[in-house]
């Protein structure tokens, strides 16, 4: 039998490669989390988010890792496009051999990745996407989602909204699924709680291209008692400025989703409208141990105040670590079952993965906006546990495919 | 009545803002014929520079004016540098190549702005006078909006004076009519073009700076204004300042009243206006048919059949592609699958753009229609994959036939913009018709039949359909149809004289291109497992243009080379940091090195080597 040079080379390569394979299977190799997010498309949220998970990885590893193994995050930018996220998810699963997929900001990117997870039977932990479909209509056993969904964000504020006692409402929300879903739930939940409520006008600005003057004028024309707002980011800044100048918010209650998050509150600066009911995070006034510890560690590492994105990034890692620890393995089926009920620490306190729909119970803060020293902040706030802002289990069951 | 008056004022303020953005774009196009895709980036830079200046200056009105003008001047300087370093080198390149270069600039500026100003939106603290309102008919109207209402017409007046009452303006108008004649009379065209580009950039910067008090300087500004700026320019008639002003008025006022009546129309309103105007007036409100710059359109040499060497090269590439699954890993394979899809997507656009002479800014529409057709077949009808793949080209081609009837009557940038309008309308339908399309959450679970589920099979299928499709398109272009099509491009008049039906030929090319793109979209849908409105959004149309231009419009291999290069480059760079600036610089370098595209440059080099005159 003659041995060709090529066979020899191949054999040599195989011998060289073998230790790597052995190493990958040993228990000392790191657990790999493949993370995908819209780093270039949505930098205002995702850059603090990245710093958040970097901090968490460092902390988890300093504490000895998970199952005796270190965590390693391999992160990619999806450029805001679901098709790129799908390709990168494939790369992370096939080439990088990650144990868990995570990430996502935009709802459609999250859903695309969730669909890959379903098809490939691999675990995906969605961090930020807020669409309800992720755990309900399109939910499946391989997809978990951390943040409070659009339903939960609205449900957390309904109590305060009802207390306004306003009869004529108008809504303004960005013209895509997130905004539409917010308004749908708000109308539905308010109508249940406050019979006789009227929605007299709605505005649907295109995301990132609000014509604030015309939008404010159209809302004012409806002479509402109160306003529900779903815009955020640059649109919100434009909307608030036109609204302030034209007096739209005077003597009117405003319920506004996400506005209390530092990344969206900060640009409002000395024009922050006072007394809006918002969800967010009062980063400057929380003093409890877990918040304070997180903020101190974050500031020590990066030299700046954390944002909401930082919290989400941090909690994503701790939630995955806790899930893996409870599962006792990084085998997908074990994790798909084992994550259920796993408790994890977040900057906002302890949360867990719900068994009935794989939704995380990380909550958010509800409070009112105020201004101090030319800066916006949240006052009269309270933390609302995500577990308390959910529909009944029967309703969830109806929406979620078995 | 009072309310109507107030809405009208609101509309006028919006119109002024729109006009300021569009004025620079139309000035630049009128003279240099550059479709400046980076205009939005200059607008964004204007806002950021204004923030840097104004947040350091005292808050009195005079300093505000100073800061805004400072930002405009700084942006003008950036524009001048851009012109001297980049655009000046490629004026003689094929049409639309400058678009590719400015697309590279967009990518670079995005990363540079992030690096300089950070990710947080920057808002300017408004002094009292900027915040104030005027009481009109018992309602408050922002004082600053009144200022804007005045600034728009003032800028228009200033520009008209500049163009009609100064020697510089005279020369610029002369250059617009006939560049070579102006040059022959001893005018330094280069100075003229640089100054015009600087003026246009400065106007963009002015627009951005003036938008700052109404909101914030943020990293999404560039792409959020560019489409609307183009719409205003085209609706007004390209190069016409008065037209741009009229168009801005029309759109601003319609927007103010439109969203009060039909709130969900925000996504498409401007594109509906553009489609309506262009169907009635193919050159916009005040536009004239473009004066042909002398020597601009050189008679293009007919495309040759590939020589034996090139055919061999193509065959070798195809064999390598077929063998790829035996060596490539799963990730490389999914990139190659995307490259195969991109080949047909680009080749179909090339049918229109190259031999057809019709550039499209909305080619992704057909890709998307094909993808959605496949999704409906799979999810709605529960049909096998073959049905979806068959349905897609017919759905896209059929729709292209309807739209094409309006589109192919036009030419040049107007034609391109009308395709953009239809693409945006299709996109908005997919986006907003949630019950059927799933809205922006898309259609999920469009996975291939089990026999094609594994990666290599899916890849071979994609290769078969897409490369096969591209070869069919190629065959059509070397058939009498293709020669007739090129005849209508080079001289519609002479083509008609020898009995060719130009309208029908162009329409056939349009439908063929649509069907090809539709098939590529369907393959993509099955390869990705899901369909989203982003498939037919503007960036995807731009991708198609970039691929064709990168490869070379006037070669048959161009779109193939461009598609593979662009797909591989992008997916490779996306894995690392700062991919935008890298991709942008690479595109700029390629444009400068190969103005006729990669394949065009290769063909020229081959000809030189063979000692033949190119």
pLDDT per residue as tens digits for the range A266-288: 999 999 999 999 999 999 999 99
Cα(B55)–Cα(B57) distance, integer angstroms = 6
Is A141 inside a domain boundary? Answer: yes
Cα(A193)–Cα(A349) distance, integer angstroms = 29
Q: Mean pLDDT, to the nearest integer, of B227-247? A: 91
- The pLDDT of residue B310 is 82
Q: What is the ipTM of this complex?
A: 0.89
- Residue B10 and residue A217: Cβ atoms within 8 Å? yes
Query: What pTM value is reported for the model?
Result: 0.91
Same-domain check for residues A54 and A107 = yes
Greater model confidence, A316 or B303: A316
- The pLDDT of residue B301 is 62
- The pLDDT of residue A7 is 46
Same-domain check for residues A281 and A155 = yes
* pLDDT at residue A22 greater than cutoff 50: no
Is A15 inside a domain boundary? Answer: no
Q: Helix/strand/coil (H, E, C) string of B74-115?
A: HHHHHHHHHHHHCHHHHCCCCCCHHHHHHHHHHHHHHHHHHH
CATH number at residue A183: 3.40.50.2300
Same-domain check for residues B370 and B265 = no
Please compute, for residue A345, the number of CA atoms within 13 A of its CA located in the half-sphere on the CB side: 9
B133-172 as b/e, with b when 16 or more CB fall inside 10 Å?
Answer: beeeeebbbbebbbbbbebbeebbeebeeebeeeeeeebb
Paired residues of A345 in beta bridges = A350
Q: Which of B123, B214, B574 sits opposite A269 (nearest CB)?
A: B123
Q: Please give the residue of chain A at the shortest CA–CA distance from B434.
A: A177
Helices B39-54, B97-117: axis angle to 10 degrees equals: 20
Report which of B319, B538, B358 is spatially closest to residue B431, judged by C-alpha positions. B538
Q: Mean pLDDT, to the nearest integer, of B583-593? A: 91
Same-domain check for residues B121 and B246 = yes
Judged by a CB distance cut-off of 8 A, whether residue B112 touches chain A is no
**The tokens of A36 are what?**
């995908």
- The pLDDT of residue A148 is 94
Same-domain check for residues B333 and B190 = no
| B298–chain A nearest CA distance, Å | 39
Residues B99-135: tens digit of each pLDDT: 889 999 999 999 999 999 998 899 999 998 899 999 8
* pLDDT at residue B293 greater than cutoff 90: no
Residues B146-175: tens digit of each pLDDT: 999 999 999 999 999 999 999 999 998 888
Is B290 inside a domain boundary? Answer: no
Please compute, for residue A141, the number of CA atoms within 13 A of its CA located in the half-sphere on the CB side: 10
Can you say whether the dihedral through the CA atoms of A179, A180, A185, A186 is positive or negative? Answer: positive
Q: Which of B220, B532, B571 sits opposite A108 (nearest CB)?
A: B532
Q: Please give the residue of chain B at the shortest CA–CA distance from A47.
A: B119
Can you say whether the dihedral through the CA atoms of A32, A38, A43, A45 is positive or negative? Answer: negative
Note down the domain range covering B58.
2-280
Cα(A143)–Cα(A15) distance, integer angstroms = 38
Judged by a CB distance cut-off of 8 A, whether residue B290 touches chain A is no
Residue B328: other Cβ atoms inside 10 A:
16
Judged by a CB distance cut-off of 8 A, whether residue B3 touches chain A is yes
Same-domain check for residues A374 and A233 = yes
- Residue A94 and residue B330: Cβ atoms within 8 Å? yes
* pLDDT at residue A11 greater than cutoff 50: no
Same-domain check for residues B600 and B487 = yes
| A45–chain B nearest CA distance, Å | 8
Same-domain check for residues A178 and A278 = yes
Q: How far is CA B253 from CA A111, A211, B279, B391, B497, in A?
A: 38, 11, 21, 42, 46
- Chain B residues whose beta carbon lies within 8 Å of the beta carbon of residue A129: none
Note down the domain range covering A86.
25-148+287-362
**The tokens of A162 are what?**
């009802």
Paired residues of B53 in beta bridges = none
Is B318 inside a domain boundary? Answer: no
Same-domain check for residues B415 and B510 = yes
Binned at pLDDT 50, 70 and 90, residue A28 comes out as: confident
- The pLDDT of residue B109 is 96
Q: Which of B120, B439, B530 sits opposite A44 (nearest CB)?
A: B120
Q: Does residue B348 contact residue B520 with C-beta atoms inside 8 Å?
A: yes
Same-domain check for residues A303 and A241 = no
Helices (H), A164-276: 177-193, 212-221, 234-246, 262-265
- Residue A234 and residue B532: Cβ atoms within 8 Å? no
Is A401 inside a domain boundary? Answer: no
Under DSSP, the state recorded for A353 is B
Residues B530-557: tens digit of each pLDDT: 899 999 998 899 999 999 999 988 888 8
Is B560 inside a domain boundary? Answer: yes
Same-domain check for residues A79 and A211 = no
Q: Which of B14, B114, B335 sits opposite A214 (nearest CB)?
A: B14
* pLDDT at residue A184 greater than cutoff 60: yes
Greater model confidence, B383 or A299: A299
Judged by a CB distance cut-off of 8 A, whether residue B521 touches chain A is no
- State how many domains chain A has: 2
- Percentage of chain B beyond pLDDT 70 is 97
- The pLDDT of residue A27 is 59
Same-domain check for residues A175 and A251 = yes
- State how many domains chain B has: 2
Is B304 inside a domain boundary? Answer: no
Q: Does residue A70 contact residue A31 with C-beta atoms inside 8 Å?
A: yes
Is B288 inside a domain boundary? Answer: no
Report which of A79, A209, A241, A234 is spatially closest to residue B225, judged by C-alpha positions. A209
- What is the C-alpha radius of gyration for chain A, rounded to an integer number of angstroms? 23
Task: Determine the residue among A91, A213, A266 to mutate to test chain B binding: the one whose Cβ has the most chain B Cβ atoms within 10 Å.
Answer: A213
- The pLDDT of residue A24 is 44
Same-domain check for residues A260 and A226 = yes
Q: How far is CA A124 from CA A116, A327, B195, B440, in A?
A: 9, 15, 54, 20
Is A17 inside a domain boundary? Answer: no
- Residue A95 and residue B330: Cβ atoms within 8 Å? yes
* pLDDT at residue A157 greater than cutoff 60: yes
Same-domain check for residues A185 and A85 = no
Is B319 inside a domain boundary? Answer: no
Task: Please report where in the chains the tokens 């890692």 appear, as a residue.
Answer: A317
Q: Please give the residue of chain B at the shortest CA–CA distance from A78.
A: B574
Judged by a CB distance cut-off of 8 A, whether residue B334 touches chain A is yes
CATH number at residue B562: 1.10.3470
Same-domain check for residues A194 and A337 = no
Is A41 inside a domain boundary? Answer: yes
- State residue B318 phi and psi, 5-degree precision: -65, -45
| A101–chain B nearest CA distance, Å | 16
The DSSP H or E segment spanning B171 is helix B167-177
- Residue A237 and residue B216: Cβ atoms within 8 Å? yes
Q: Which of B441, B528, B580 sits opposite A108 (nearest CB)?
A: B441
Is B592 inside a domain boundary? Answer: yes
Judged by a CB distance cut-off of 8 A, whether residue B457 touches chain A is no
Same-domain check for residues A253 and A376 = yes
Same-domain check for residues B41 and B122 = yes
Paired residues of A125 in beta bridges = A102, A144
- The pLDDT of residue B337 is 94
Q: What angle do CA A323, A328, A329 make, to 5 degrees?
A: 90
């Amino acid at each position: 039998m003659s041995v060709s040079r090529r066979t020899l080379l191949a054999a040599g390569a195989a011998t060289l490669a073998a230790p790597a394979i052995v190493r990958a299977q040993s228990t000392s190799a790191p657990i790999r989390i493949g993370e995908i997010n819209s780093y270039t498309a949505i930098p205002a949220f995702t850059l603090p988010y990245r710093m958040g998970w970097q901090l968490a990885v460092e902390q988890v590893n300093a504490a000895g890792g998970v199952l005796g193994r270190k965590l390693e995050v391999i992160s990619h930018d999806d450029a805001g496009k679901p098709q790129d996220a799908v390709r990168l998810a494939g790369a992370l699963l096939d080439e990088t051999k990650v144990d868990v997929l995570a990430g996502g900001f935009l709802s459609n990117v999250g859903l695309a990745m969730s669909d890959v997870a379903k098809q490939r039977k691999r675990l995906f932990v969605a961090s930020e996407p807020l669409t309800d479909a992720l755990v309900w209509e399109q939910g499946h056993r391989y997809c978990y989602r951390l943040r409070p969904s659009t339903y939960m964000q609205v449900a957390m504020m309904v109590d305060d909204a009802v207390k306004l006692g306003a009869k004529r409402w108008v809504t303004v929300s960005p013209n895509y699924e997130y905004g539409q879903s917010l308004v749908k739930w708000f109308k539905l939940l308010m109508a249940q709680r406050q019979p006789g409520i009227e929605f007299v006008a709605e505005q649907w600005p295109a995301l990132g291209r609000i014509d604030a003057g015309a939008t404010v004028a159209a809302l004012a024309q409806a002479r509402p008692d109160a306003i529900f707002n779903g815009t955020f980011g640059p649109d919100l800044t434009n909307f608030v400025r036109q609204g302030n100048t034209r007096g739209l918010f005077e003597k009117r209650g405003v319920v506004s989703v996400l506005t209390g998050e530092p990344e969206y509150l900060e640009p409002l600066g000395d024009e922050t409208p006072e007394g809006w009911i918002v969800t967010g995070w009062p980063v400057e006034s929380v003093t409890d141990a877990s918040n304070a510890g997180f903020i101190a560690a974050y500031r020590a590492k990066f030299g700046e105040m954390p944002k909401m994105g930082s919290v989400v990034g941090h909690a994503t890692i701790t939630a995955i670590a806790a899930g893996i620890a409870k599962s006792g393995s990084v085998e997908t089926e074990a994790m798909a079952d084992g994550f259920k009920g796993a408790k994890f620490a977040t900057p906002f306190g302890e949360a867990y993965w719900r068994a009935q729909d794989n939704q995380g119970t990380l909550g958010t803060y509800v409070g009112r906006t105020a201004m101090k020293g030319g800066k916006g902040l949240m006052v009269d706030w309270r933390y609302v546990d995500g577990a308390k802002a959910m529909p009944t289990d029967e309703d969830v069951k109806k929406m979620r495919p078995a | 009545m009072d309310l109507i008056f107030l809405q009208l004022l609101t509309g006028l303020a919006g119109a002024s803002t729109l006009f300021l953005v569009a004025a620079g774009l139309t000035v630049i196009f009128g003279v240099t014929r550059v479709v400046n895709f980076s205009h939005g980036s200059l607008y964004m830079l204007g806002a950021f520079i204004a923030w840097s200046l104004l947040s350091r200056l005292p808050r009195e009105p005079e300093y505000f004016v100073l800061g805004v003008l400072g930002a405009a001047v700084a942006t003008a300087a950036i524009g001048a540098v851009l012109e001297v370093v980049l655009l000046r080198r490629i004026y003689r390149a094929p049409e639309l190549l400058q678009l590719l270069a400015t697309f590279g600039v967009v990518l670079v500026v995005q990363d540079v702005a992030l690096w300089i100003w950070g990710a947080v939106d920057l808002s300017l603290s408004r002094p009292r006078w900027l915040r104030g309102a005027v009481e009109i008919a018992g309602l408050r109207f922002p004082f600053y909006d009144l200022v804007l209402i005045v600034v728009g017409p003032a800028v228009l007046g200033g520009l008209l004076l500049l163009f009609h009452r100064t020697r510089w303006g005279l020369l610029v108008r002369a250059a617009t009519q006939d560049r070579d004649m102006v040059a022959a009379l001893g005018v330094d065209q280069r100075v003229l073009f640089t100054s015009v580009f600087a003026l246009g950039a400065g106007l963009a910067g002015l627009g951005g700076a003036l938008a700052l008090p109404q909101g914030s300087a943020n990293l999404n500004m560039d792409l959020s204004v560019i489409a609307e700026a183009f719409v205003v320019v085209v609706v007004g008639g390209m190069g016409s300042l008065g037209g741009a002003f009229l168009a801005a008025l029309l759109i601003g006022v319609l927007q103010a009243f439109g969203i009060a009546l039909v709130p969900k129309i925000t996504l498409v309103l401007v594109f509906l206006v553009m489609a309506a105007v262009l169907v009635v007036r193919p050159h916009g409100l005040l536009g004239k048919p473009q004066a042909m710059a002398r020597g601009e359109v050189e008679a293009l040499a007919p495309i040759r059949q590939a020589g034996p060497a090139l055919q061999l090269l193509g065959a070798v590439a195809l064999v390598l592609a077929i063998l790829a699954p035996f060596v490539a890993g799963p990730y490389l394979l999914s990139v190659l699958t995307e490259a195969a899809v991109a080949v047909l997507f680009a080749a179909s656009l090339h049918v229109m753009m190259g031999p057809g002479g019709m550039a499209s800014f909305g080619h992704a529409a057909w890709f998307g229609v094909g993808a959605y057709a496949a999704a409906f077949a799979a999810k709605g009808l529960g049909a096998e994959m073959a049905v979806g793949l068959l349905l897609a080209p017919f759905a896209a081609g059929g729709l292209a036939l309807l739209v094409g009837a309006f589109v192919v009557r036009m030419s040049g940038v107007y034609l391109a913009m009308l395709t953009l309008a239809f693409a945006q309308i299709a996109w908005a339908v997919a986006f907003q018709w949630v019950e059927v399309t799933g809205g922006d959450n898309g259609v999920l679970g469009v996975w291939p039949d089990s026999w094609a589920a594994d990666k290599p099979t899916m890849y071979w299928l994609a290769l078969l359909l897409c490369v096969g499709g591209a070869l069919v398109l190629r065959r059509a272009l070397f058939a009498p149809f293709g020669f007739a099509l090129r005849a209508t491009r080079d001289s519609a008049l002479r083509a008609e004289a020898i009995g060719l039906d130009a309208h029908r030929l162009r329409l056939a090319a349009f439908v063929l291109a649509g069907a090809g793109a539709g098939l590529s979209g369907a393959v993509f849908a099955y390869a990705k497992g899901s369909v989203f409105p982003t498939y037919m959004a503007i960036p995807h149309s731009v991708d198609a243009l970039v691929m064709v231009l990168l490869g070379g419009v006037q070669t048959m291999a161009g779109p193939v080379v461009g598609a593979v290069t662009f797909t591989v480059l992008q997916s490779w760079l996306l894995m690392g940091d700062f991919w935008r600036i890298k991709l942008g610089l690479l595109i700029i370098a390629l444009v400068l090195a190969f103005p006729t595209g990669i394949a065009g440059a290769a063909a020229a080099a081959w000809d030189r080597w063979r000692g033949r005159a190119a």
